[in-house]
Each structure stands twice: as structure tokens, then as C-alpha cells.
Amino acid sequence: MNPLWLATRATGEISLVLFTVVTIMGIATTKGWASSRWPESVVTLLHRNISLLSVVFLGVHIGTTVIDGYVPIGWLDVVIPFQTTYKTLWVGLGTIAFDLMLAVIITSLVRRRIPQTLWKGVHWTSYLMWAVAVVHGLGVGTDQLLTRVLAAAMTALVLGAVVARFLTPHRQDDPVVSVTTRTEIRR
Ligand code: HEM
């Protein structure tokens, strides 16, 4: 099998797993879930760093897809959805997930310079991004058994975290303020 295409598949699944972890870590950060072993600062740091790692894997996923040339997917298809003739709907959903991810990353990088409501609104689309990415993987994945098993496991994890998020009481302070910012405010 073509190594580039194999890399596309492997990094697609790895990206999905990492995005799932990032989503759960994000919920944990928001809710202040922590323990002596996993203090809030560690959870926040993990959320940030694993999200960067997932971007690296996604970059390889997209890069190998285009460079491989095995299917007609070009660089424009990476950002403009539904243009490719190859599995137009399913690949287009991957593009939408990527565009949403770009929006989440860019607004997070300039978070201190934009209104918090804007940052929060865009950050909420992470759930949509994750769900769209799951459907993309299910629709386009070659190994349907692996894709389905992984998608089911990731969905169970995120749904569990979302349910726990809404069942646990809200914190006293603003849940969207990061640990670092909160420390600065207290000072
Ligand atoms: C957040 C964004 C994305 C995630 C999480 C993601 C994830 C995945 C997953 C899980 C698979 C299934 C791999 C398998 O076969 O087992 C996959 C396949 C694929 N993805 Fe993505 N993807 C994303 C974005 C994109 C984008 C933007 C493109 C290209 C424009 C793309 C192109 C492909 C292609 C061509 C396949 C088929 C590989 C195969 O035949 O197995 N993906 N992706």
C-alpha cells in the first residue's frame, strides 16, 4: 500500500483521537475539574499543548492527502468545501472541520485582544468541529470497522464529558476565564 495514503489514514484517526482528548480537556478546564495529581494548571496546559499536537497531525493528514495525488484533492479543497470530485460531501465535511478549527485557533491566539463573547462563541463551535470531523471520518474512511469502532468510542467519551459538564454545578467565577488569567485577576 502507498505509504503516503497510509499516513493519511493513520494521521486522520490520530487527529480524531487527539481532538477528542482536547475537547474533554477543554470541558475539564472550564469546569475546574482537578485533583492533587492533576492540578488545574496541568489540565489547562495539557488542553493547550495537545491541541497544538493535534494540529501537527492534522497538518500531516491534509498534507499527505494532497501530495499523494492518489485522489483529486488539491490545496484549495483544504479550505473551500465541496469542490473536490472525490467523495465531495464527506471530504467537504473534513474541510469544514478544518475551517472551524482554524477559527478556534486564531481567536484563541488573539484572545486577549478580542471581546470575550466573540472568543467564547467561536470556541463553542469546537463541539460542532469535532462532530463534523467524526462524520467526515465515518464517510470517507477506508477501514470501515476501525473507523466505526473508533468513532463510537470517541463519541461515548465526549458525550460522557458533556453530560458530566451539565450535571456538575457551575463555578463561582467566570468559567471561560483561564487559570492564568484568574490568577492575574486575583493579584
Ligand atoms: C479536523 C479535521 C479532520 C479530521 C479530524 C479528519 C479525520 C479523518 C479520519 C478519522 C479519517 C478516516 C481514516 C481511515 O481511513 O481510517 C479521515 C480520512 C480522510 N480524510 Fe480527513 N480529517 C480531517 C480533515 C480533512 C481534510 C481537510 C481533508 C482534505 C481536504 C481530509 C481528507 C481525508 C481523506 C482523503 C481521507 C480518506 C483516507 C482513506 O481513504 O482512508 N481530511 N480523516
Q: Where are the domains of the chain?
A: 3-169
Predicted confidence at residue 150, as pLDDT, reads 95
pTM for the model stands at 0.88
132 lines ligand 1 (CB under 6 A): no
Please compute Rg for the chain using Cα positions: 18
Q: Please give the Cα distance from 151 to 149 (Å, whole number).
A: 6
Distance 59 CA to ligand 1 centre (A): 11
Distance, in Å, from the CA atom of 6 to the CA atom of 101, rounded to the nearest integer, reads: 23
Please report, for residues 170, 172, 181, the alpha-carbon distance to residue 115 in angstroms, rounded to integers and kept in the order given.
Answer: 22, 21, 15
What's the rounded Cα separation, in Å, for the pair 145 and 138? 10
What are the tens digits of pLDDT across the range 64-79?
A: 999 998 899 999 999 9
Question: What are 120-152's pLDDT values in tens digits?
Answer: 999 999 999 999 999 999 999 888 899 999 999
Query: Ligand 1 centroid vs 60 CA: distance in angstroms?
Result: 11
Lowest-confidence pick of 3-7, 19-23, 29-33, 172-176? 172-176
Whether pLDDT at 50 is above 70:
yes
63 close to 15: Cβ distance less than 8 angstroms: no
Measured from the CB, is residue 146 less than 6 Å from ligand 1?
yes
